[in-house]
Amino acid sequence: MPRESGYAHLLVTKVPGWHGLIAWDALLNGMATGLFMAAAVSELAAPAVFIPVAKVAYPVALVLLLVDLALLVSDLGDPLRFHHMLRVFKPRSPMSVGTWCLSIFSLPLTAAAALSLLAEMGIDFEWARILAVVLGLLPGFGSAAYKGVLLSTNAQPGWKDARWMGGYLTNSALLMGCAELLVLSALMGQTQATTILRIAFIVLLVLNAIPLGLLFANLRPAHARLYTRKQQWCVGALIFAAGTLIPLDLTLLNGGLLFIVGAVIFLLLVSWVIRFVYVKIPHTSPLEIRSGE
C-alpha cells in the first residue's frame, strides 16, 4: 500500500487571530448586557424595591460596556476602520447584527446611566429614565444573544459544533447580571432587594447548568481530540464545582456580604475560564500533534 502522505493530517481551516481579548470581550459583554437587563427586569417588575440599586447598576453597566467596546475595537486588524462596520446591515452576519445591536444599545444605556446620575444630583427625569430602560431592553438582549452565534457560526474545529454556545452565553449573561446586581444591592444595604436577588441568583445558577451541560456535550468530540479523558474529567469537575456548586453553597449557607461576594467571584472566574477554554479550541493542537513535542 502507498504511504499515507499529502495534506490529510493537516487542519484545513485557518485560525482567526482571536485570542485572550475575545475571552475578555465575551465576559464583559455578558456582564454589561446582563447587568442592564437584570436591573431593568427587576426595576420594571418591582419598582419600589429595585429603583435605588438599578440607578447604580446602569452607570456600572455603561463602564463595563465601554471597556468591552474598547477591547472589540483594539482586536481589529485596523482599529481606525471600526466605523466601516456601520456602512451596511447584514442580518446574515452575526458580527453585523452584534455591531448594530451594541451601537443602538449604547444610546439608551448612556441615557439611563446619565439620567440615573442626574437623579442622584436632584435633577430627576424619571419618565425619561424609564423610557430609556425600556428602549434598551431589545438591543441589550440582541447584544447578549449575538456573541454565541458569532462564535458558533463558522468553520473552526470545535466552534462549528457548539450548537449551545449562544444559549449558554445569553443565559450566562443574565446570571452574571443578576450576580452583579446582588453584590450592588448587598453593598448598598438594600435588604429586601438582596433577599429577592439571592433567591433569583440560586434559581438562575441551577438553570444555567442546563445550557452549560448541553454545550459540553456539543464540545465532547473536540475535547476528545485535544485532551485526555482524565483532563476532560478534571476540567469538567472543576468548572461544575467552582462555577455552580461553590457559589450555590455559599449563597445557600449565608446571605452575608462576604459570602455573596465570594460566590460571585467564583462564578465570574469560572465564566471567564469557560470562555477562555472555548476561544482557545481552534488554537490548540490535537493530541497526536502535541505528543511529538
Partner 1 sequence: MASREIELSALPQTSDPPRGRLSEFIGRLIYPFLRGEPPKPRPATGFYTDTTVCIGCKACEVACKQWNQLPSDGFNWSGNSYDNTAELSATSWRHVKFIEQFSDESSGKRASVGVAPSESDHNRWLMMSDVCKHCLAAPCHQACPTGAIIHNEFENVYIQADICNGCSCCIAACPFGVITRDSVGGHSHKCTLCYDRQRDGLEPACAKACPTQSIHFGPVDELREQARKRVEELHQRGVPQAYLYGDAASDTYSELHSFYLLVDRPSVYGLPDNPFNPWLHMMGDYVRSIAGGLAAIAALFVVVFLLRS
Q: Which of residues 138-197 bind partner 1 (CB under 8 A)?
A: 141, 144-146, 148-150, 152-156, 159-160, 163-171, 173-175, 178, 195-197
Query: Interface residues for partner 1 in 67-86 (CB under 8 A)?
Result: 76-85
Positive or negative torsion for Cα 166, 169, 171, 177: negative
Q: Closer CB to partner 1, residue 192 or residue 228?
A: 192
Q: Closer CB to partner 1, residue 95 or residue 261?
A: 95
- What does the block give as the cell for 90? 447584514
Report, in Å, the least distance between residue 234 CB and partner 1.
Answer: 26
Helix (H) or strand (E) holding 81: none
- Of 31, 35, 42, 262, which lies in the binding site for partner 1, with binding defined by CB under 8 A? 42
The DSSP code for 4 is P
Site string for partner 1, 250-279 (x = CB under 8 A): ------------------------------
Q: Closer CB to partner 1, residue 83 or residue 237?
A: 83
Distance (Å, whole) CA 27 – CA 244: 17
Query: Interface residues for partner 1 in 203-232 (CB under 8 A)?
Result: 203-204, 207-208, 211
Does 95 bind partner 1 (CB under 8 A)? Our answer is yes
Other beta carbons within 10 Å of 105: 25
Positive or negative torsion for Cα 276, 278, 279, 283: positive
- Residue 228 region, left (φ>0) first, then alpha (ψ -120 to 50), else beta? beta
Report, in Å, the least distance between residue 253 CB and partner 1.
Answer: 19
The size of the interface with partner 1 (CB under 8 A), counted in residues, is 81
- What does the block give as the cell for 88? 451596511
Does 88 bind partner 1 (CB under 8 A)? Our answer is yes
Report, in Å, the least distance between residue 160 CB and partner 1.
Answer: 6
Q: Closer CB to partner 1, residue 207 or residue 241?
A: 207
Angle at 276 between CA 273 and CA 279, to 5 degrees: 150
Distance (Å, whole) CA 74 – CA 101: 19
Report, in Å, the least distance between residue 286 CB and partner 1.
Answer: 15
Distance (Å, whole) CA 239 – CA 56: 31
